[in-house]
Amino acid sequence: MLLALLVLLLHVVMPTWLRQSMSAKIKYTNEPLGEVKIIPDFLPSPAELAFTEEGVKVTLALSKKSIEFFKSEAAKNHTQYQRMIRCLLDAYVESHGV
């Protein structure tokens, strides 16, 4: 429902020239590309992308306002609030050279 409303709103608000340019077909030609520069592979391997750091479960009492804040921000960013807290703590540790 919300998505349909958003699409309708964009269609009404979006200028005609933009709608026409978005629906225009791309015409490919067989022209020379010019000088091509090959760059080294900079992407991490799939093994490096997998989060493999061992976690340790702890019990921690946090203030109600802190939990409400993280839950609210997590919902806005479509993630888990515990993950946000863990990332915040990891960033703190990283910034202090540990």
For position 92, what pLDDT does the model report? 87
Q: Which residue is it, tokens 């915040």?
A: 88
| 96 has a pLDDT exceeding 60 | yes
- Least confident range of 15-19, 25-29, 63-67: 15-19
pLDDT tens-place string over residues 22-60? 667 878 888 888 898 898 887 777 776 666 678 899 999
Query: Is the confidence at residue 13, as pLDDT, over 80?
Result: no
- 65 pLDDT band, cuts 50/70/90, is very high
CA separation (Å) from 69 to 59, 64, 72, 73, 90? Answer: 19, 9, 5, 6, 18
Kindly tell me if the per-residue pLDDT of 8 is higher than 60. no
Where exactly are the structural domains of the chain? 61-98
